[in-house]
Amino acid sequence: MLEVAVEHKAEFLEMCRLDSVGSTTSEPGCRQFDLLTSDEAPDEVVLFEVYDDKSAFDHHLTTPHYKTFAAAVERLGVKERRVRFLNRHNL
- pTM for this one? 0.89
Check residue 52 and give its pLDDT: 95
Q: Which residues of the chain have pLDDT under 70?
A: none
Mean pLDDT of the chain: 94
Domains of the chain: 7-78 (3.30.70.100)
Q: Which own/partner pairs from 19-28 qualify as long-range (CB within 8 Å, at least 24 positions apart)? A: 19/47, 19/65, 19/66, 19/68, 19/69, 20/47, 21/65, 22/63, 22/64, 22/65, 22/66, 23/49, 23/60, 23/63, 23/65, 23/66, 26/63, 26/65, 27/56, 27/59, 27/60, 27/63, 28/52, 28/56
Check residue 79 and give its pLDDT: 87
Check residue 81 and give its pLDDT: 81
